[in-house]
Amino acid sequence: MTYDQARFTGDGVYEPLLSAKTSRTVDPGADSDLPEELTRDELTFPSPSEPELARHYTRLSEMNYGVTTGPYPLGSCTMKYNPPFTEDVAAHEAAAVHPDRSTRSTQGVLELQHRLQDYLGRIGGMDAVTLQPPAGAAGEFTGIRLAQAYHEHNDEGHRDEVIVPESAHGTNFASAALAGYDVVSLPSGEDGRVDLDALEAALSEETAALMLTNPNTLGLFERDIERVAELVHDVGGLLYYDGANLNALLGRARPGDMGFDVMHYNVHKTFATPHGGGGPGAGPVGVVEELREFLPRPHVRRVDGEYDLVDPAHSIGKVHGYQGNWLVLVKAYAYIARLGDEGLADASAKAVLNANYLAEQIDCEVPFGPFHHEFVASAGDRDAANVARRMLDYGVHPPTTKWPEIVSEALMTEPTEVESRRTLDQLADAFDRSLGDDEATLADAPTRTAARRIDQTSAARNPRLAWHDLDEGGGG
Amino acid sequence: MRRGRTPPRHRETEAGSPFAPHTAAETAAMLDVVGVDDEADLFDIPGSVRFDGSFDIPARSEAAIRAEIDTMLGRNDDLVELLGRGHHAHYVPSVVAHLSDRSEFLTSYTQYQPEVAQGFLQALFEYQSMLVELTGLPVANCSMYDAATALGEAATLASRVRQTTGTRVLVPEHLQEGRRAVLENYVRGQDLTVESYPMADGNADLDALAEQVDEEVVLLYAENPTVRGCIEESLADLGTLADEHEALFTLGSDPVALALLEPPAAVGADIVVGDCSLGLPTAYGMGLGLFACREEFLRQVPGRLVGASEDDAGRRAYTLTLQTREQHIRRERATSNICTNQAWVALRAAMHAAWLGPDGLVDLAESGVRRARSAAARLDEVAGVTAPVHDRHHVGEFCVRTERAADAVAADLEAAGYAVHVVGEHDLQLRVAGLPDDVLDGVAEALAEVAR
């Protein structure tokens, strides 16, 4: 392999914990003018020098894999290159304003939000967009609450079911449950898509919404989407679009045109705002006209040439204390502006080309097809998790494993548009070598990473979640 | 460059994604391998739903976008912000920005593949550990979106673990509006109702509250400092009251204040939530939600937890743990729907807290107390102004009463270059932590002009 992981090979060289190096105890009450009973007696806390701090975190960063380290073909996660200029844009001093400032004094912030709402609306084929949800799952919850409020407003509050395909992201189920719905799981058809008969059987007067990802998590476009929409609408339900896989459709198809009523956008996936090791993301929600007045308050609108924050007439209220993860939205705006119409369409074209090319190049079974941006290969009689760990030894981040469960020992792979043919060939090589290695080698992998096989069982049985829980009191 | 190779396409003039590295020749060869003639043939989309229009979004160069955003954000007025109400920023040292911007952190995914995520996992383990130190509670997750959603999650946790059949959640009448609104949205699906209890001079009205609490209450929420910047003086009594009725006592706070104030665990807090003020600028409300709780609720905690373990070479290693609580495994039976959280902000907060160290944290909190006291005394001298409104100890911010209507005073102050909160008909709230003397003098002069 050409990827060099030499920096992960420092055998036994570990970065000590901050606490072990530098903890000190102080008495916060000592110099305080506060009554003693209101203050604490002591605080034990790390106290590194700035150079120590710089080395500590630099060392930790070296023990971490990011998109700039190498390919990150995690199915359904859309890990693609994040252009750093968006960071500079978001670091703009004027972006750092307090959320309680008057609308008159924050016209710049509101204008950018308004433009992004507009862009996202056009990209998704939606009539109105809120930027408030701070992540994709928060967007799902917002969307389902919108559907709920809409039904209640129309005296249809009895609808207490949300239908979710079994291959959907787990967040769909959890978000619907959080909103108080019973979740009806929809089995997949033989071709990996929604089974229309099963859908008809699941739909009823109790249906509030169907949540759908399209292309779905197998990378397959739901070709019968218009029929699906018709069936859902016929019983009075709403159709929800999970935007996790929107990267495959930019400029080729729009959820709004397919009959979806409400959708969320994962700006950190589709629009390449860095995932930050698990956030912050942002999950703007788009809706058709009928749902506009249910959006979270306040909503950015243009009134008499000025940007203003308006409370929609039947607003569901708030889903974030303020207006969501603003700096992430600035990055998303900058990214969309950088690509424009042709760039967005090209991103999808290349993402889909790359997925199909890679599926073609690897020596293992890839059921279903044709694929959009991702595919699910099967490791066959091999343990997909072991195969994944072995791929680390070949210098690449492995795909998502063991999900969706429709494919046994799943290796769910999404190369995205940012990988070159050469990189895809190397990825295919890593796939094939890992699958070709003997069981003992797989069971021993990885051997070249900062940590080898980690004891997950004892981590869960005997949770050690903070310095106190470590025997040596935080030693390295 | 290899001979004969078509130049890569990140030139600013070429149409297409600047981040897709394919040359025309490579694209053609790859299409050939896949077995289609044209990129359009890759899309398995029925003609009836194909989109062939335009978004009318022109592509711009980096330079043009930066200039455009400069111009746009330049339309914000340049104001001195005396704004807080729980969301406020401290100066973030440059080293935090530089270290957190290292792309191995910034461009990484959630740490599901722990062997190549040890750095971030350790950093999050350290973040959790710092919260444990500050709250005195043994379990802290590695982030929620903000204080409002963390409070919402505390209430859904209470509904899962409640020992009574109750449905009431009690919150102070002085509560940031967004926190209340988000809480209402979170508990709606769990059939809980949110009610306010009265405040007396900026603290919880214990007598009134004692009347209000019964066995139907599943969660009692208080803040220290309160949204008005007051130190809550009856925390232990609140904890006892909650305990007597088997309600979970949830305390909202901030890590800087916690470095100085009574540890929540010592006053009986079952859960601590809050907005972390370290690591980020005010960022138009973007934040970092804290969540810590008693060990008893470990398997009910929302969000991610990092645990220490060993690898098969016997070395310390970290991993996400207790994932059977999470939605990707338990789906509709998960403890929460939160998936993407605020990991990178948590990383920054941990860096900032460690940079400050114990002395720095305590100094920052104490200087907030001293500054509030001296600024209130200074403004109390201004004709038409009474400060502070509440006869309490304050951290960083306090309320003032003006003779003229607060709306009008705030509008005039904004015209003079100062942004303040309106919190009542004649009450304004000012955050003064970190405010230099000359700026405070300017505020006092401006108030003298408009307060009466």
Q: Minimal CA–CA distance to A53: which of B345, B99, B106?
A: B99
Query: Chain B contact for A253, CB < 8 A?
Result: yes
- Identify which of A218, A211, A344, A172 has the alpha carbon closest to the alpha carbon of residue A271: A344
- pLDDT tens for each residue of B118-144: 999 999 999 999 999 999 999 999 999
Of B57, B148, B366, the CB nearest to A340: B57
Chain B window 62-81: which residues touch A at a Cβ cutoff of 8 Å?
62, 65-66, 68-70, 72-77, 79, 81
Binary contact (B116, A176; C-beta < 8 A) = no
**What is the per-residue DSSP string for B235-274?**
HHHHHHHHHHTT-EEEEEE-HHHHTTBPPGGGGT-SEEEE
Which class for A12: exposed (0-12), middle (13-18), buried (19 or more C-beta within 10 A)? exposed
pLDDT at A31: 72
User: Which pLDDT belongs to residue B441?
Assistant: 97
Chain A interface includes B348 (CB < 8 A): no
Q: Tell me which chain A residues have a C-beta less than 8 angstroms from the C-beta of B330.
A: 170, 174
Whether residue B322 has pLDDT greater than 60: yes
pLDDT tens sequence across B34-54: 999 999 999 999 999 999 999
Chain A 154-173, residues with CB within 8 Å of chain B CB atoms? 169-171, 173
A344 and B262 within 8 Å at the Cβ level: the answer is no
Q: Are B298 and B139 a contacting pair, CB within 8 Å?
A: yes
d(CA A119, CA A121): 5
Question: Quick check: A28 and B355 CB within 8 A?
Answer: no
Task: Tell me the DSSP string of A39-50.
Answer: B-S-EEE----H
A352 and B81 within 8 Å at the Cβ level: the answer is no
CA atoms of A326 and B336, how far apart (whole Å): 23
Distance of residue A232 Cα from the nearest chain B Cα, in angstroms: 17
* Chain B residues near residue A71 by CB distance under 8 angstroms: none
Where do we find the tokens 């909103």?
A: A179
Residues of A in contact with B11 (CB under 8 A): none
**A80-121: per-residue pLDDT in tens?**
999 999 999 999 888 899 999 999 999 999 999 999 999 999
Q: Which 3 state secondary structure label does DSSP give B67?
A: helix
Q: Token pair 């939160």 is at which residue?
A: B338
Q: What is the ipTM of this complex?
A: 0.96
Q: Is B310 exposed, middle or buried (0-12, 13-18, 19+ CB in 10 A)?
A: middle
For residue B91, the model assigns a pLDDT of 94
Q: Compute the distance between CA of residue A408 and CA of residue A270 in angstroms, rounded to an integer.
A: 28
The verdict on B336 touching A (C-beta cutoff 8 Å) is yes
pLDDT digits 0-9 by tens, A410-447: 999 999 999 999 999 999 999 999 999 999 999 999 99
Confidence at residue A472, expressed as pLDDT on a 0 to 100 scale: 54
A318, B116: Cβ pair inside 8 Å?
A: no
Interface of B with A in 191-210 (CB under 8 A): 191
pLDDT in tens, A337-375: 999 999 999 999 999 999 999 999 999 888 887 899 999
Q: Apex CA B104: angle with CA A379 and CA B68, to 5°?
A: 115
Strand order in the sheet with A400-401: A375-378, A410-413, A400-401
Nearest CA in chain B to A55: B99
CA distance B163 to B215: 10
Q: Which three-class secondary structure state does DSSP give residue B63? A: helix
| B309 part of contact set with chain A, CB < 8 Å | yes
B86: region left, alpha or beta (phi > 0 left; psi from -120 to 50 alpha): left
Tally Cβ neighbours within 10 Å of residue A405: 10
Closest CA to A299 of A73, A91, A117, A84: A117
B87 to A98: CB separation less than 8 angstroms, yes or no: yes
A21 pLDDT band (50/70/90 cuts)? confident
From chain A, the residues in CB contact with B102 under 8 A are: 57-58, 61
- Chain B segment 25-64 residues within 8 A of A by beta carbon are 26-27, 29-31, 33-34, 39-40, 42-46, 48-51, 54-62
The first and second tokens of residue A298, run together, are: 């306040």
Angle (CA) B273 A18 B297, round 5°: 30
